[in-house]
Amino acid sequence: MSRLLFPCLLFSSLLLSACVNRAPATPPLTQTQLNTSLTNSEMRLTENLAQLCQTLETKQGFHSAQLQDIEKNQRQMNSKLEHIEEQLQQKSAPKAVAAAKPAQCPSVAPAVRTNGNINNLGDKMVMGRREWMWIETINSVFEARVDTGATTSSISAQDIVDFEKDGKRWVRFLLVPNGAESRFEVEAPLVRYVRILQSSQEGGEYDRRPVVSMTVKVGNMIEETEFTLTDRSHMTYPILLGRSFLKDIAVVDVAKDYIQPKPAIIGTPKQAVPTTDADKK
């Protein structure tokens, strides 16, 4: 029986293989069909591109119209602003004339009458980087540098001596301006001593300096102020005016020098005339 089954199976498999091989194959495209297919694809792409370009042109036209509307609104706004500015100028012009009328009045503000100086800003005196300063106790005029960064004013002093006068503490010192042969002996009441940190010294040591009170004059303003005594003979200016002098009475224009007029020597000096190195010899 098994011998008959094997030939039957072999015959069946051969028969099935013949059936499969007999299935019709897909015929290839002819040249005409291929050309037609390519033409149709090209036409579809052309139509899609045309539709896309039309859409873009429509959007561009819409954006151009919006831009024209914006420019039109901007021109209208600029015109309105110019009209408003003209109205404001017309309204402010009478006020400016009215505000200028009090300036014609001969009366002078009290602060201006006090110092009699025209170089003022409101009720404050205007000072430059350098000004002339008159010292009452020796009746002499010196150049002073204005320094808004310094808290206290300082004056050049040598041979400082602390002494008592009429039961009060005073200080006697020599004022030696840089480049000058004259030495001015000055006496002033002692206010206090201060400790100044010397950054130039190694370790940042403190320097104990006396502070005196003196009457000085800048321009036409006479003021009593405090000065720290220190040797400034190696510096250009023997006197430095700090914020203790400037506060509430002056403003500084750092772009100018000698704004205030040079004070004149008045009266008779309270002390002897200055000595020179030759006189001491």
DSSP secondary structure, 199-258, as one string: TTSTT--EEEEEEEEEEEEETTEEEEEEEEEE--TTSS-SEEE-HHHHTTTEEE-TT-S-
Rg of the chain in Å (alpha carbons): 51
277 SS3 class: helix
Q: Are 182 and 280 in contact (CB under 8 A)?
A: no
Burial class (CB in 10 A: 0-12, 13-18, 19+), 45: exposed
Q: Can you give the residue ranges of every domain in the chain?
A: 36-103, 118-280
Pairing relationship of beta strands 153-156 and 168-175 according to DSSP bridges? unpaired
Phi, psi of 125 (to 5 degrees): -80, 140
Q: What is the pLDDT of residue 55?
A: 87
- What token pair was written down for 83? 């009209």
What is the C-alpha separation between 124 and 223, in angstroms, rounded?
13
User: pTM of the entire structure?
Assistant: 0.51
What is the C-alpha separation between 142 and 154, in angstroms, rounded?
13
Q: What is the pLDDT of residue 153?
A: 92
- In the block, tokens 């201006």 appear at 112
- In the block, tokens 């190195």 appear at 277
Q: What is the pLDDT of residue 14?
A: 63
Phi, psi of 22 (to 5 degrees): -85, 0
**Ranges of the chain with pLDDT below 70:** 1-27, 90-118, 179-181, 198-204, 267-281
Q: What share of the chain is helix, strand, coil (3-state, %, to 5)?
A: 40, 30, 30
Write the pLDDT tens digit of every residue in 110-135.
333 334 445 787 788 899 999 999 99
Write the pLDDT tens digit of every residue in 194-237.
888 765 555 567 788 999 999 999 988 899 999 999 888 888 88
| Nearest one of 22, 201, 207, 224 to 135, comparing CA atoms | 224
- What token pair was written down for 220? 């036409």
Q: What is the pLDDT of residue 114?
A: 38
Q: What is the pLDDT of residue 95?
A: 46
What is the C-alpha separation between 176 and 183, in angstroms, rounded?
5
Q: What is the pLDDT of residue 227?
A: 94
As its CATH architecture, domain 118-280 has Beta Barrel (2.40)
Pairing relationship of beta strands 140-146 and 130-135 according to DSSP bridges? antiparallel
Q: Where are the beta strands (DSSP E) in the chain?
A: 120-121, 124-127, 130-135, 140-146, 153-156, 158-165, 168-175, 182-197, 206-218, 221-230, 239-241, 250-252, 275-276
What is the C-alpha separation between 223 and 217, in angstroms, rounded?
6
**Sign, CA torsion 140/144/146/149:** negative
What is the C-alpha separation between 242 and 261, in angstroms, rounded?
19
